[in-house]
Structure 1
Amino acid sequence: MSALTSAIAAIDSLHTIPPLTADDEWRSIGASLPDHLTLERITEDMHERAGLVALLAFLKHTHSTSTRQQPEHAAASAQKLCEHVARIIAPCPDSEAGQVSDDDYPEYEQVAHRSRDLAPYGLAVLRILCNDYSINLDVDTLLTVISFTAPGLTDPWTTQGACHVARELLSQQLLHRLDQSDLLESILKEYLRPAFAKSRPQAVTASGRKAEFPQDDDPHRGLADDTKEVKPWKYEDHRAIAVFHWVVLTADSDVLKRLWPLFIPVLLALLDDGTTRIRRRGLLILDSFLEKFPSNILRDTGLASVFRDAVFPTLHFLPSITPEEDSILLLEAAYTALLRLARKTESKAGKVEPHGTSPKGKLLDKLLREGVFSSYFHVKEHVKIVAVLLMQTAKILDEMQIYAVKHLKDLIPMHSEVLSNPFAALAPATLSAAIQGLQAVIANCWPRLSIPAYQDELIKALVVCYMTVHDERDQLGERFAELDVELVKTASMLTVAAKGTAGKGAEDLADKAALLVSKEPLLAGLFQ
């Protein structure tokens, strides 16, 4: 039995493994390991979690005592051990452990669970080895560390503790690299470009620029190309997306300006993928990318239309074809990215264009017509998705401002239908979104709200909603007060908007409100 095997057997006999912060307990375990255990022998005989635990205990013990003497070439063994530990904890199917065959790949969740189980111990080992032996990690090991640093724990293989250790370790390693932009360029060229080479969409050329004459996509191509040969980043190396996300978050505008062609194929491949988690991650990354990407390059290269065409299909990922929860995740991310794109497509400085013909104006109009209104027609019975659409509508209107008046004929009926629904109190989140959406309509389109037809429909919607909310006061519980305040605020905004037209609208609204209050005194609380 080898030294490490003996140590592993001792670890396996433990009922529980102590927390990583319990240094004294770890040193106690380390003290019980065989005296002849060395880094060289550990490197030769590594094994899964028990091996990582034994290694961690060994390192914590040797870190606090000088009884174990390491040979002069221990640093080389430590470097080799770092690479081996990184391979073990990486969120990749483990061919060495016999998990992968040509026709049988483990599920993504299975790989993520295994990596999540091993990562806390492996990352702790890497941190100790790097500190004790002043190791500069090789790029592949660094990629594994990066894959555990995603913000918001968006990857299922990382935890809060693992993320903290990985970020700390990464920060230390980056201090040893004189030019971080060189590392980013190396990752983009030598790691990400080969991984995504076969899954590049037809909309861009191999150099990442807009294709002037793109080939028509085969509708069946997506299924045929969804393989490990075409998408190794999806099936063979789950680090790739997390690493790309880190590159986008880390790169400054100068790096993006110089290396942008290397980003585009990866972004479009993610946006084109049919798996919800990947497409959504691509949308989140695109939003971060656009935030820093120079507007002039976006405009002059034609990439704005490429991104628009890549994201827009996601707006139609709706039930019943797409599960409701998946649809919500995708819609929120897609609208956020498209709104960011609209803000970045302002006309050139000094160039005055009518709103309807400007790139930003056309995109916002398209978002409402082909996005919100089209989707609402199909998903009225899915109240959670309706809430998302209403919240995004408010954001779009705030971007359009007065130019949103052209859409009043669709905006007012959509909001009125939700507010007037007798069962609206059953979905308070959707009701709240409709009220806030109507506030955005009033705030941006107030000059046209003196039109009697619009005014009557809005008053009716507010009155019906106010009565419903008060009738269902007990059912709404804590949400009642919030909804009541927002409804009163909306009615007040409508009154102010009517006064702002400097016409007969204000008097008409006051007369209508007084008549309603005379018939139902409860409405005095609405029209204060």
Structure 2
Amino acid sequence: MDQMRKEAREVLQRDPWNRPGFLRAAFKATAKNGLPELWQDVSSHDSTVHLDVCENLYTALCFVDGWDPLLPNDGGPKQLDRNETEAVKNLFQWASQLALPSSAFAAPWTPASACTNKHVEIKDAQEESRLRSALAIQLILQLSAKAPPGLSDRSIASSPDVVLAAACFTEQKDPWTTEDSHDEASMYLDVTMQDGKWDLIARLLREKIRPLFTKAKNPSITSEGRKNFHPVPLSRFDGSILDDAMKPWKFRDVYATRVLSWIISRYKPTDKAHLEAHFPLLVPAILALIDDDNLTFKRMGCELFSKILQPIHQSGSDILVRTNLTSVFEDAITPCLLSLPTITPEDSSIRLLSAAYPALLSLFKTVYKTPSPKKSKDQNAKDRETYTAKISKILRSNLISSFHHISSSTPTAISTSASFPHPRLSTFLLEWITTFVKELGISTTKYLQEITPVLYTTLTNPFGTAHPPLLLAAVSTTKFVVLNAHPRIWRWRGEILGALCACWLYVVGEKEDQGKVKAGKGSPSVTELAKITRELQSTVYVLKHTLQNPVAVNGEFDADQLLAKDGMQQELQTLAEADSELEALLFADVKS
């Protein structure tokens, strides 16, 4: 054993990341010793010094790699006695603890701290943690491959501690995960979790994950994971919210969110019973993430909620209704929509909103949109009305108001002087306005007075071609507004046509400028401008078709609507005569 340790230390001191998988001294060590002796040697060299810990792990790894679990002459696997079984159990437990990522990965990084001594110490601690984890995961994989056939209790190789350790390395993008540790952890989990192991998942949630997220109490839910109808408000001067110990998942056990994500990814629509049984264990963790003050964790919470909603929706589960948690999650996610510039940087805002809006929409669809055979026809109709009301509220109170907030336009009046200092976020909001308009359908008609100014100020912006995606999003939104609100769109034809014509002229002007002068860096490409051109022509075609085919309301046509139909051709001709460039827009043969 001593010679093997000596060789192990030399390898680690020379190049720990390029180590051989086997040591020559391991032949003698395994010939003279068994697993109990290995564990006795490992435990006697217990240390907190990094090199000593890695030496211990590498020594155990090489020993297990050389250990033969088979009887001579192909006699099958050896049956391990009580001492050997206890040694295997201890080795699994020991390796599982050492595999867990260090709390050093919780340290925030800022450009100002990049060159400080503290930052260097943190980077060194992270590198040491990566090496320890890689060795420990490799040892777990070797043990699980060799020991179980000889164990009378094979669950030793798949205890919650061991599965927890492996699940920490299921995402290669995590800073504590190396390519090898990811591959080896995945191999272990693929074999261990073949049969679902739902009892093991339940234990993992109950014993390992949930306690990390429930130290700080959430007054919105009960201890059973249901809505609390009589919440006791937290004290305004509760100092515990500043205590790092109340959020171990954030400051110490940094792996908790990765394990939670891995667990959630295992639920399929066919696992409805298990999902509903485990859901109360998942709720505190997801809410804790969404309610956190860090935008990264907020985004992660929204993403995990969207992920768990998929099997809930596809399986037809009513767990959200039975636990009355719909409003709890809605109230938790909605404040995320207020993370806007200038308080929140544009990049951070887009990342968070990209998770929050899909989460809210998925929540509403899961609870209200899909008819349930368990409900009466009247109840399903009422749910559909509630769905429309929820979508309308988010559209008006968040999407449209956020769009006005981050631009210079005035929400109460149409203005041609709007500017867009955050064009990527404005584009994002317009794309989601389109999504919500699609969900509203004919109900879009009610909100034309609020939607039209958004479209007008965007399309008539003389600098719109500086960011083509913004114009494309605005044109796309306009088209779907026309399609959905066609019975009343004739009332707004002047504003819509004016906006489309102005946008067309700006695009034509940009093309002419590029023809005269070589396009500079950041200028829109010819392809982008051509795409905007096609979309504008398509939208005008849809608008013309809508005006030419009026819809009767209560069996009668509005007189002004018929006048709009009769006068449409003359209106278009007048516009074309005012500027010949508009002919290609207003009279394009889109179908060909």
Task: Please state how far the C-alpha of 1:232 moved relative to its aligned partner.
Answer: 1.5
Q: 1:341 maps to which residue?
A: 363
Which of 237, 250, 262 is 1:234 aligned to?
250
After superposition, where does 1:83-482 map in structure 2 within 5 Å?
Answer: 83-93=93-103, 115-116=129-130, 119-134=133-148, 136-150=157-171, 153=172, 155-158=174-177, 162-175=181-194, 180-218=197-235, 221=238, 224-251=240-267, 252-293=271-312, 294=316, 296-346=318-368, 348-351=375-378, 358-380=385-407, 381-451=421-491, 454-473=492-511, 474=519, 475-477=523-525, 478-482=527-531
SS in 2 for 1:501: coil
Corresponding position: 1:26 with 2:26 = no
Q: Deviations over 1:130-163 (max 9, x none)?
A: 213337132112112112224xx56433356543
Task: Please state how far the C-alpha of 1:127 moved relative to its aligned partner.
Answer: 2.2
Q: Say whether the 8 Å CA contact 1:419–1:461 is kept in structure 2.
A: yes
d(CA) in 2 for partners of 1:219, 1:483: 52
d(CA) in 2 for partners of 1:498, 1:52: 80
Call closer, same or farther: CA 1:83–1:438 in 2, change over 3 Å: farther
Q: Which amino acid aligns with 2:544?
A: T
Call closer, same or farther: CA 1:521–1:319 in 2, change over 3 Å: same
d(CA) in 1 for partners of 2:459, 2:9: 64
d(CA) in 1 for partners of 2:90, 2:577: 85
SS in 2 for 1:320: coil
d(CA) in 1 for partners of 2:304, 2:248: 19
d(CA) in 1 for partners of 2:236, 2:295: 18
d(CA) in 2 for partners of 1:26, 1:509: 81
Q: 2:11 maps to which residue?
A: 10
d(CA) in 2 for partners of 1:494, 1:420: 18
Q: Say whether the 8 Å CA contact 2:26–2:66 is kept in structure 1.
A: no
Q: State the identity %.
A: 25
Q: Say whether the 8 Å CA contact 1:199–1:225 is kept in structure 2.
A: yes
SS in 1 for 2:462: coil
Q: 1:100 maps to which residue?
A: none
Gaps of 5+ in 1: 19-24, 96-103
Q: Say whether the 8 Å CA contact 1:3–1:36 is kept in structure 2.
A: yes
Which of 537, 542, 546 is 1:493 aligned to?
542
Q: Say whether the 8 Å CA contact 2:160–2:203 is kept in structure 1.
A: no
Q: Deviations over 1:277-326 (max 9, x none)?
A: 21111101111222233553323442111111111111101122222222
Task: Please state how far the C-alpha of 1:376 moved relative to its aligned partner.
Answer: 1.6
d(CA) in 1 for partners of 2:260, 2:498: 51
Call closer, same or farther: CA 1:429–1:163 in 2, change over 3 Å: farther
- Give the TM-score of the pair, scaled to structure 1: 0.83
d(CA) in 1 for partners of 2:121, 2:232: 33
Task: Please state how far the C-alpha of 1:121 moved relative to its aligned partner.
Answer: 4.7
Q: 1:101 maps to which residue?
A: none
SS in 1 for 2:185: helix
SS in 2 for 1:510: helix
Q: Which amino acid aligns with 1:249?
A: S
Call closer, same or farther: CA 1:86–1:440 in 2, change over 3 Å: farther
For the pair shown, the structure with the greater C-alpha radius of gyration is 2
Q: Deviations over 1:17-56 (max 9, x none)?
A: 44xxxxxx835x7448896588544665584696489559
Q: Say whether the 8 Å CA contact 1:55–1:125 is kept in structure 2.
A: no
Q: Which moved more, 1:271-280 or 1:459-468?
A: 459-468
Call closer, same or farther: CA 1:485–1:179 in 2, change over 3 Å: closer
Task: Please state how far the C-alpha of 1:483 moved relative to its aligned partner.
Answer: 2.3
Q: Which moved more, 1:131-140 or 1:306-315?
A: 131-140
Q: Which amino acid aligns with 1:480?
A: L
Q: Say whether the 8 Å CA contact 2:104–2:126 is kept in structure 1.
A: no
Q: Say whether the 8 Å CA contact 1:295–1:345 is kept in structure 2.
A: no
Q: Which moved more, 1:35-44 or 1:331-340?
A: 35-44
Task: Please state how far the C-alpha of 1:419 moved relative to its aligned partner.
Answer: 1.7
Task: Please state how far the C-alpha of 1:212 moved relative to its aligned partner.
Answer: 1.2
Q: Which amino acid aligns with 2:486?
A: W
Task: Please state how far the C-alpha of 1:439 moved relative to its aligned partner.
Answer: 2.4
d(CA) in 2 for partners of 1:483, 1:55: 65
Q: Say whether the 8 Å CA contact 1:271–1:279 is kept in structure 2.
A: yes
Q: Deviations over 1:221-243 (max 9, x none)?
A: 5x742433211222221222222
Call closer, same or farther: CA 1:114–1:422 in 2, change over 3 Å: farther
Q: Say whether the 8 Å CA contact 2:167–2:185 is kept in structure 1.
A: yes
Task: Please state how far the C-alpha of 1:457 moved relative to its aligned partner.
Answer: 1.3
